[in-house]
Structure 1
Amino acid sequence: MKYFLITTLLVSQALFSQNKLKPLIQDKLSPAASVDINAYIGEKLHASYNNRILAQDAHRLVQPFTQHDEHSCWQSEFWGKWFTSAVLAYNYHPTPQLIDKLKNTAQELMATQTPEGYIGNYAPESRLKAWDIWGRKYVMLGLISYYDISNDKKALNAAAKEADFLIKELNDKNALIVKMGNHRGMAASSVLEPICQLYTRTGNKKYLDFAEEIVRQWETPDGPQLISKASVPVGKRFPKPTENWYGWDQGQKAYEMMSCYEGLLELYRITGKETYKKAAEQTWQSIADTEINIAGSGAAMEAWFSGKEIQHVPIAHFQETCVTVTWIKFNQQLLRLTGESKYADAIEWAYYNALLGAMRLDGSDWAKYTPLSGQRLQGSEQCGMGLNCCNASGPRGLFTIPLTTVMTSDEGLNVNFYIDGDYQATTPKKNTIIVKQDTDYPASGKIDISLEMKKAENMTLALRIPSWNEKSTVLVNNQPIENVESGDYLKINRNWKNGDKISIEFEMEGKLHSIGQHPVNVAITRGPVVLTRDERLLGPGLEAVITPVKNKNGSITLTPKKSNNPDIWMIFIAQFLPEAYTEYGAEPVEVELCDYASAGNTMTTYPFFKVWMPQLVDPRN
């Protein structure tokens, strides 16, 4: 079955024609014009499209906006999260069924707008408090995204009226946005992102002024200080709350913090102020260095906590899916802005592990938390809405991949990810090119790429060589390319023509990772995939202490095994030494490992699984 991103380029082009203002800073990478994704990822997109996006009762998500009696909950976020997911899905696979659903629910939501401009569910005496502004942010993001695909100015006007009323309320009440709501104002002030989008689409300077005022307030003593504390590790910027973990004092809230930086990057595009970009980049580096675990995500109890160094121990409410999705979206912002491969590396790692691991096999549900050992359990319903924040957010991360697999630049094309499918793009000279990928990556490291183009053109094709890769070969028309370096793009400039072929092969060696002391724990990765023990697979019980048999170079041999279980994507057999008390130890035993996304992931039961394996403490060491 084919899926096409035929509207994405049109949307991108329409934004420049619809926008009153062209951003001062242009992205280095832009999405392909159409996409046809096959195989495993195509199946996941298909499942989510049908069983989560289309299956959602959108009417129920609008219902809270018809009543203004809320004081503390966050029902108003669900419509915008689901709607922006659905717009991404529509950009990927535009169908009459989905556009009708989007149109109907957008109109239903706009019909709840009060004469003063409010779209929300909070009682008048509680407005601006708790999650009210956060909910308004998602209303605006949803309405703006609908305007972008439909050119319906009623949606843009409704979003503008929502923003106008927010600005008026803050002014009339002499209220600081950073003192409103939770998490040192990060939840409320993350409204920066749609405010910047409104400025570029309307040209109304009051939105730019409001955006700059939000950032000014960040740096006050009451604010989250997202610029001045950018060099401080994200888990240590403020003292931990002693009373209400989810209250205003919580300055480490992961999801809300990254949402603010997404808005700051939008403001950077508008203003060109390098301090904004630098703050986002420094924070990204801090998150990567101190928080992101082996599955590509992080945070516990929804907050940063310097968790990378203790990821091997049991951790409460670990790795919220909303955090995973926002980490992917934050990286996507930086990737298209800078074109740097490290952001694509981070997206790939999070996507194949933490994100796909959180998604139910049929795409109908998402786990709220995904530990590195234990079980994948369903999240609780929130706010009486029939779903929780992560059910609504999961597809927002899933449907980023069609937008970023193959992208265009001023120099040519960037192949960021290796996913079986066809990718149509426009070259620097405005010629049409189709990049066809034939691969089962990351099950193997072999990728064959062929080009279809009516006119030959001299341009640069940039192939991402992942940072985890240590040995690879790249051939163009069977001729080897020299100086292939990991952790960067291999830029091949030549006169590309119809029928040109590129062959890539990454060495998919089993790598061992160690962490902790007394005991040391080990984990295994293969390419960008974390391998995991699962109680459904062959081997001793998960509680057994087993030691991987190393090769001379420190790697572990992994033998692929065809999976007879439709719930499991990849299975590998490896040799381990079991704990023994004989004089010369025991003989190696075979142990099966599966990909992290499949571990413990079923439609009925909740099998236990384990990523980090504790090792025996040896007093001689």
Structure 2
Amino acid sequence: MSAFTLTALNSAKLNGYLGEKLALCLERRIKAEDVDGLVEPFRHREERRLWHTEFWGKWMLAAVPAYEYSGDKALYEQIRSSTQAMIATQSADGYIGNYPDDGRLQGWDIWGRKYTLLGLMGYYDLSKEPQVLQAACRLADLCIKELGPGAEVNIAKTGMHHGMASCSILEPFMRLYRRTREERYLEMARHIVACIEGPDGPQLIKKGLAGVPVAERFPLPEKWWSWYNGQKSYEMMSCYQGMLEMYEELGEERLLRVCDRIAKDIIATEINIAGSGASCECWYYGKKWQTEPAIHMQETCVTVTWMKFCQTLLRLTGDVVYAEELEKTTYNAFLASLNPDVSSFSKYCPLEGIRGAGVGQCGLEINCCIANGPRGFFMLPEAAIMSNAEELAVNLYEDLQARVTLKDGLEVAIAITGNYPVNNKVQIAVTPSATATWALLLRIPAWSALTAVTINGAAVENVNAGSYCRIARAWQAGDVVELVFDFSCRVAELNRCLALQRGPLVLARDTRFNDGAIDAAVLAPGEQPLELVSAPAAAAAAGVWQAFTTKLVNDLNAEGPAGGPQEVHFCDYASAGNTWSAASRYRVWLRKGLRVAIGDHLR
């Protein structure tokens, strides 16, 4: 049912820039968390509307794969002890949460149960301790009693956002079915889908297959944060993620078809140049409006959920589009959400302005995005290299080492070097355990107009942008593949604004370079393509990862030489604003000035 298999986290190691940030996140965010503080709300049953109970499960969704990746024994103990503490809060009827008996099913109660189930199953997968799975089953059985077939309450009428928050519990029910093979969990999953598609539900399948844009699923609500808001992006994608789990188990093609269609609709209408979207956490035709500031743009929870959706669709469909999206989001929106020392994540991450920390939620120092952000890192080693019996696909070109197993037990080690995307040349050392014939799939980025591929120095033909270059041959130890990507400056234009890109990176102006007003309109001189010149000294001085200069007219009122092209600095968008202070205002989309003399005003 899937095109590829993910690489096991203990069989992959990121060695480049992403690997450095991942390691810092592991130490400074995941292991530094006060996990007992996340369990504490479960010891009290006083809540009626807030979402304290998502935080522990979100932490677990990063901590468990972080342990699988690193083997860190101290982290394992944090996971183990917090899971035991969580199970200790379980009521006799199976409930784990912080809502009183007469407040259950209200607010974010079911949403929190979803994350608790996912966290419990994460630890069960590590430990195989039967009491952990038993605790998950007891909580799930309570949900069936309260919300399942024959219950008085329709799950789609509970919680927030036309029931999408509650109905996203579909995902852990499918995971629980896969682990237990108990039919009642599959029956509950089918019931949830029926409620989603019912007259009171968000009708995600019906509207998706009918082509209803995600920004127009329901009329604008009178009260934004309510059940009546049906454009909530994070919760909507979470429900579709559950449908992908269901497709993988049951093979119902309509579920894959609708998720694929919705993802491509989101790409076409919502995902911005940095690889994320949403305003006030809702779809809003963000792709066409991205040049305009919007309230609370690009929530990190949306970014990470989009990454997971793309990773899953890539694995199931083998469609290279999702690898493209995963790379774009990773190097731009995701990395941009990190604070300077990688100990936290921003809540929102606009395309211009000043970045900063979000406020704590639910009376705690943590918020949803700080809890959810780390999860994004551990999708990357799994997705960088994927495989099936006959093929090995390279999706990301981060420096890395990975090992996968193909047909007949053939082990293949892959080592990627080149310091991508600082440099545009990548070497891939291929080391199979024996000489054998299989296919290597190289993702050729859509943005690389001209990509050169060689094997042991011999040129490879049929290298096409936006596709996999499939090389089927007898591979042997010592084979080396080299790729040279086109890192020419690309100029994106929208709504009389322009933005610069280099390789997978979006670029931004930043006030730290002190080279003119970043909000000023600009003009690209002449008809020749812009040339980006690497500026490592400027990058070091400003405290950014990568910096470049190019020539732009950036003072439309100046006369003489000052009115001509001037050297203007740009940095990678992820580094722009990374002081989280007014010292580093930044801007991606630059207004284009009018050239009246050549008739711009008449076009």
1:383-394 alignment to 2 at 5 Å? 383-394=362-373
Q: Is the aligned partner of 1:371 residue 2:371? A: no
- Deviation of 1:585 (Å): 8.1
Q: Which residue of 2 aligns with 1:146?
A: 123
Q: Which residue of 2 aligns with 1:198?
A: 176
Q: Please say if residues 508 and 527 of structure 1, whose CA atoms lie closer than 8 Å, have aligned partners that are also in contact.
A: yes
* Large movers: runs of 4+ above 4 Å: 603-606
Supply the distance in 2 between the matched residues of 1:525 and 1:560 (Cα, whole angstroms).
13
Q: What amino acid is aligned across from residue 217 of structure 1 in structure 2?
A: C
1:511-550 alignment to 2 at 5 Å? 511-516=490-495, 520-549=496-525
Q: Is the aligned partner of 1:339 residue 2:311? A: no
> CA distance change for structure 1 residues 614 and 604 in 2, over 3 Å: closer, same or farther?
closer
Supply the distance in 1 between the matched residues of 2:134 and 2:416 (Cα, whole angstroms).
42
Q: Is the aligned partner of 1:561 residue 2:535? A: yes
- Partner-residue secondary structure (3-state), 2:426: strand
- Deviation of 1:550 (Å): 5.5
Q: Please say if residues 451 and 498 of structure 1, whose CA atoms lie closer than 8 Å, have aligned partners that are also in contact.
A: yes
- Deviation of 1:452 (Å): 2.3
1:37-81 deviations in whole A, cap 9, x for unaligned? 212111100110000000000000000111111000000000000
Supply the distance in 2 between the matched residues of 1:341 and 1:550 (Cα, whole angstroms).
35
TM-score, normalised to structure 1's length?
0.93
Q: Is the aligned partner of 1:480 residue 2:459? A: yes
Q: What amino acid is aligned across from residue 333 of structure 1 in structure 2?
A: T
Q: Which residue of 2 aligns with 1:576?
A: 552
1:456-475 alignment to 2 at 5 Å? 456-475=435-454
Supply the distance in 2 between the matched residues of 1:173 and 1:459 (Cα, whole angstroms).
53
Q: Which residue of 2 aligns with 1:437?
A: 416
Q: Which residue of 2 aligns with 1:301?
A: 280
Q: Please say if residues 551 and 557 of structure 1, whose CA atoms lie closer than 8 Å, have aligned partners that are also in contact.
A: no
Supply the distance in 1 between the matched residues of 2:236 and 2:583 (Cα, whole angstroms).
32
Deviates more, 1:407-416 or 1:229-238: 407-416
Q: Which residue of 2 aligns with 1:219?
A: 197
Deviates more, 1:63-72 or 1:150-159: 150-159
1:68-467 alignment to 2 at 5 Å? 68-170=45-147, 174-230=152-208, 231-242=211-222, 244-467=223-446
Q: Which residue of 2 aligns with 1:20?
A: none
1:456-486 deviations in whole A, cap 9, x for unaligned? 1110010101111111100001000001011
- Deviation of 1:286 (Å): 1.0
> CA distance change for structure 1 residues 596 and 586 in 2, over 3 Å: closer, same or farther?
same
Q: Please say if residues 354 and 582 of structure 2, whose CA atoms lie closer than 8 Å, have aligned partners that are also in contact.
A: no
> CA distance change for structure 1 residues 495 and 620 in 2, over 3 Å: closer, same or farther?
same
- Deviation of 1:362 (Å): 1.7
Q: Please say if residues 546 and 613 of structure 1, whose CA atoms lie closer than 8 Å, have aligned partners that are also in contact.
A: yes
Supply the distance in 1 between the matched residues of 2:241 and 2:95 (Cα, whole angstroms).
24
Q: What amino acid is aligned across from residue 238 of structure 1 in structure 2?
A: F
1:247-302 deviations in whole A, cap 9, x for unaligned? 01111000000000000000111211111111111110111010000010000000
- Partner-residue secondary structure (3-state), 1:299: coil
- Deviation of 1:311 (Å): 0.6
Supply the distance in 1 between the matched residues of 2:26 and 2:94 (Cα, whole angstroms).
32
Supply the distance in 1 between the matched residues of 2:184 and 2:547 (Cα, whole angstroms).
56
- Partner-residue secondary structure (3-state), 1:228: helix
Identity of aligned residues (%): 41
Q: Please say if residues 80 and 141 of structure 1, whose CA atoms lie closer than 8 Å, have aligned partners that are also in contact.
A: yes
Q: Please say if residues 359 and 365 of structure 2, whose CA atoms lie closer than 8 Å, have aligned partners that are also in contact.
A: no
Q: Please say if residues 522 and 613 of structure 1, whose CA atoms lie closer than 8 Å, have aligned partners that are also in contact.
A: yes
Indicate the RMSD between aligned Cα atoms, in angstroms. Answer: 1.5
Supply the distance in 1 between the matched residues of 2:207 and 2:543 (Cα, whole angstroms).
44
Supply the distance in 2 between the matched residues of 1:361 and 1:434 (Cα, whole angstroms).
34
TM-score, normalised to structure 2's length?
0.96
> CA distance change for structure 1 residues 27 and 153 in 2, over 3 Å: closer, same or farther?
farther
Q: What amino acid is aligned across from residue 41 of structure 2 in structure 1?
A: P
Q: What amino acid is aligned across from residue 225 of structure 1 in structure 2?
A: Q
Q: Please say if residues 538 and 591 of structure 1, whose CA atoms lie closer than 8 Å, have aligned partners that are also in contact.
A: no
1:484-495 alignment to 2 at 5 Å? 484-495=463-474
Q: Please say if residues 357 and 580 of structure 2, whose CA atoms lie closer than 8 Å, have aligned partners that are also in contact.
A: no
The counterpart of 2:32, out of the listed 55, 58, 62, is 55
- Between Structure 1 and Structure 2, the one with more helix by share is 2
Supply the distance in 2 between the matched residues of 1:364 and 1:443 (Cα, whole angstroms).
24
- Deviation of 1:606 (Å): 5.0
Supply the distance in 2 between the matched residues of 1:582 and 1:593 (Cα, whole angstroms).
24
> CA distance change for structure 1 residues 118 and 354 in 2, over 3 Å: closer, same or farther?
same
Q: Please say if residues 384 and 394 of structure 2, whose CA atoms lie closer than 8 Å, have aligned partners that are also in contact.
A: yes
- Deviation of 1:490 (Å): 0.6
Q: What amino acid is aligned across from residue 537 of structure 1 in structure 2?
A: F
Deviates more, 1:71-80 or 1:461-470: 461-470
Supply the distance in 1 between the matched residues of 2:504 and 2:51 (Cα, whole angstroms).
35
- Deviation of 1:604 (Å): 6.1
Q: Which residue of 1 aligns with 2:589?
A: 612
Q: Please say if residues 520 and 590 of structure 2, whose CA atoms lie closer than 8 Å, have aligned partners that are also in contact.
A: no
Deviates more, 1:591-600 or 1:120-129: 120-129
Q: Please say if residues 520 and 591 of structure 2, whose CA atoms lie closer than 8 Å, have aligned partners that are also in contact.
A: no
Supply the distance in 1 between the matched residues of 2:559 and 2:533 (Cα, whole angstroms).
28
Q: What amino acid is aligned across from residue 215 of structure 1 in structure 2?
A: V
Aligned residues: 591
Q: What amino acid is aligned across from residue 424 of structure 1 in structure 2?
A: R
- Deviation of 1:412 (Å): 2.3
Q: What amino acid is aligned across from residue 597 of structure 1 in structure 2?
A: A
- Partner-residue secondary structure (3-state), 1:470: coil
- Partner-residue secondary structure (3-state), 1:546: coil
Q: Please say if residues 438 and 449 of structure 1, whose CA atoms lie closer than 8 Å, have aligned partners that are also in contact.
A: yes
- Partner-residue secondary structure (3-state), 1:399: helix
